[in-house]
Copies of this chain bind each other. A is one copy, B any other.
C-alpha cells in the first residue's frame, strides 16, 4: 500500500492529520468538531481505559454515572467555574420535534420549550457536588472516591482530531474529604498515577508540576499537571488533578459533622484524562512510516505475515503461524495472522508499519526448512532471523525492549530539547528556532506571564514539582525569582 504520508520535517501538522486518518484511528464527522473514533483508534482507548481503571480501583475508587445534562443555573453557582465554561456550552432548549407544516422534514416544536435550559456537561463538578450534598452528613460518609467514564462537550471553535474536539471521551474523578490534607494527598496521588501511566504504559516521559494561577482549572485552588513534549517541540498537557479546596462544597452547601461534632465544609478534588492521550501517543513516538505504538497499549502486538508462492507453502506456513499464535495467546500477547490472499507481503508490511504494530514476523518456505522466522521491530526497523524453538520468550523479551526503547528515545529527545535560559533574548531565540521546553526564571505575576505569551506564544506549562530553590531574576521583568518554571508553546 502507498502510505502517502507527509514527512514530519516538512509539515508536522499535516503529517499528524493524515496519519490519524490513514491509520484508521479517527475521522471528522458530519457534526462540526465531533469526531468518529474508528475501531482501531477505539481499541487503543480501551487499552488505556482498562489500565487506568485498574489503577483507580487499586487506590480505592469506584465508578458511578451522573447525568449528561446540567441545569443552567448550577453552572453559575461557582463563580470561576462559570467564567471558565459558559462560553463553550452546548445548550438544550427543547425536548421535541414536530413535522414541518410544509411537509418537509421536522422542526423544533416551540411548545416543547424547557423551563430551564440544560447544558451538555463540559465537566461534572456542579451536578456531582449537588448530589454529594445528599450523600454526606457525617465524617463517616467520607471520603467519597468516585470516578466516571463519560463523554463531555466543549464547543471549541478550532478543533483537531483527538487533541481538541467538541465532544471527547474522558474519565473524571471527583472526591470529597473531611480534611484539607487528605484532599491534597488525593490530588497528588492522582497526578502520580497519571504520571506512572504516561511513563510506564504510554512510554511518554512527563514533567509533573503545578499550573500558574492563570492556567488553573476554573474553580480550583491548585492544578497539578503532567506535561509531555511532542516531536515538533510543542508541549502537551496529558492529565490534570485539581485541589478544589472547599469551593464547590461552599457553592453547593456540602457540609459534614466532624468527629468532634463541629460542622465544616467538605474538601474536594477532581482529576481527568481524555482521548487526547491518543493524540499525545501518536505525536510523541510515530514516524514518517506511520504509527509507533508502545507494546503495552498496542491493540495488536505481533503480526505474522506469510510469504508464499504455492498453495502448499501457504498451508504449511499457516500451520506454523497458527501454532505460534496459540502459544503467544497463552502469554497474553495479541497476535494477528494476516493470511489474506488479496494482498502481497509488501503491501501488508507497509500497512502494519502504518498501524504501528510493534513486532512483525515473516515466515517463508525457507524459514520452514530452517526452523526460523524473520523478526522485524517497528521502532528500530531492525530485522533478525530467529529460531522458532524458544521464540515465545524472544518475542516477550523483545516487546519489553521495544517498550523501554520507545520511552528512552522520547526521553532523550526531551533532554535535547529542554533549554535552560537566563535572558529574554535566549528565550525568544529558542522558541523561534528550536522550540522545546524552556526553563527560566519568572517573577510570579500574571502580567509577565501574559506579556510573554503575547510576544512569544509560549505559556508556563508548569512549575515542576522537583524544581530546586535557586536565586535568579525574571527573564522578562528582571525582578527576583527563587525557582525556574517551564515554558513552551503548547497544544
Q: How far is the CB of A326 from chain B (nearest CB, A)?
A: 16
Is A71's CB under 8 angstroms from B127's CB?
no
Contact for A86 among B73, B88, B97, CB less than 8 A: B97
Bound-complex Cα distance A430 to B158 (A): 62
Q: Is residue A433 contacting chain B, with contact meaning CB distance below 8 A?
A: no
Is B86's CB under 8 angstroms from A91's CB?
no
Q: Which residue of B lies closest to A98 (CB)?
A: B86
Q: Mark each residue of chain A from 187 to 203: 1 if its CB lies under 8 Å from any CB of chain B, else 0.
A: 00000000000000000
Q: Give chain A interface residues in 85-103, CB to chain B under 8 Å.
A: 86-99
Bound-complex Cα distance A99 to B30 (A): 31
* B-chain residues with CB within 8 Å of residue A479 when the two chains form the complex: none
Q: How far is the CB of A362 from chain B (nearest CB, A)?
A: 24
Contact for A75 among B35, B93, B97, B130, CB less than 8 A: B97
Is A67's CB under 8 angstroms from B29's CB?
yes
* B-chain residues with CB within 8 Å of residue A380 when the two chains form the complex: none
Is B67's CB under 8 angstroms from A39's CB?
no
Bound-complex Cα distance A74 to B38 (A): 21
Q: Mark each residue of chain A from 275 to 306: 1 if its CB lies under 8 Å from any CB of chain B, else 0.
A: 00000000000000000000000000000000
Contact for A67 among B31, B68, B92, CB less than 8 A: B31
- Chain copies in complex: 2
Q: Give chain A interface residues in 50-101, CB to chain B under 8 Å.
A: 62-76, 82, 86-99
- Residue of A66, A95, A117 with most partner-chain B CB within 10 A: A95
11 new A-B pairs (CB below 8 Å) besides A30-B127, A82-B97? Answer: A29-B127, A34-B69, A39-B63, A68-B120, A68-B167, A76-B105, A76-B106, A86-B98, A87-B97, A96-B155, A97-B119
A66-B36 contact, Cβ under 8 Å, with A71-B30, A120-B120: yes
Bound-complex Cα distance A43 to B149 (A): 13
Chain A residue total in the interface (Cβ 8 A): 63
Is B151's CB under 8 angstroms from A68's CB?
yes
Q: Is residue A316 contacting chain B, with contact meaning CB distance below 8 A?
A: no
Q: Is residue A344 contacting chain B, with contact meaning CB distance below 8 A?
A: no
Q: Is residue A342 contacting chain B, with contact meaning CB distance below 8 A?
A: yes
Is A96's CB under 8 angstroms from B92's CB?
no
Is B88's CB under 8 angstroms from A95's CB?
yes
Q: Is residue A1 contacting chain B, with contact meaning CB distance below 8 A?
A: no
Q: Is residue A108 contacting chain B, with contact meaning CB distance below 8 A?
A: yes
Is B64's CB under 8 angstroms from A106's CB?
no
Is B30's CB under 8 angstroms from A130's CB?
yes
Q: How far is the CB of A40 from chain B (nearest CB, A)?
A: 8
A93-B108 contact, Cβ under 8 Å, with A36-B67, A167-B67: yes
Bound-complex Cα distance A150 to B167 (A): 13
Contact for A65 among B36, B88, B96, CB less than 8 A: B36
A34-B90 contact, Cβ under 8 Å, with A105-B73, A106-B72, A108-B117: no
* B-chain residues with CB within 8 Å of residue A30 when the two chains form the complex: 71, 74, 127, 130-131
Q: Is residue A431 contacting chain B, with contact meaning CB distance below 8 A?
A: no
Closest A-B pairs by Cβ, 8 of them? A39-B62, A34-B67, A76-B105, A86-B97, A37-B65, A95-B155, A91-B94, A93-B93
